[in-house]
Amino acid sequence: MSGFDYSKWDRLEISDDESTFHPNLDTGLNIRVNRITRDRKEEEINTEKEKLVSQGYADKAEKLESKRPLHIGNVCHVAEERTIIQSSDGSRKDKLKKGEESFSVDDYSSFKEDNKDILNKFANADWELSEALCKECPRAP
Query: Percent of the chain at pLDDT above 90?
Result: 11
- The pLDDT tens digits for 59-111 are 999 888 888 878 777 777 777 777 666 666 666 555 555 555 666 677 778 88
End-to-end Cα distance, the chain? 48
139: Cα within 13 Å, side-chain hemisphere: 1
The continuous run of DSSP H or E covering 6 comes out as none
Band (129; pLDDT cuts 50, 70, 90): confident
Question: Whole-model pTM?
Answer: 0.43
Residue 83: per-residue pLDDT: 67
Rounded to a whole number of angstroms, the CA Rg of the chain reads: 26
Residue 49 pLDDT exceeds 70: yes
In DSSP terms, which residues pair with 125 in a beta bridge?
none
107 CB neighbour count, 10 Å cutoff? 12
The CA-CA-CA angle for residues 49, 54, 56, to 5°, reads 95
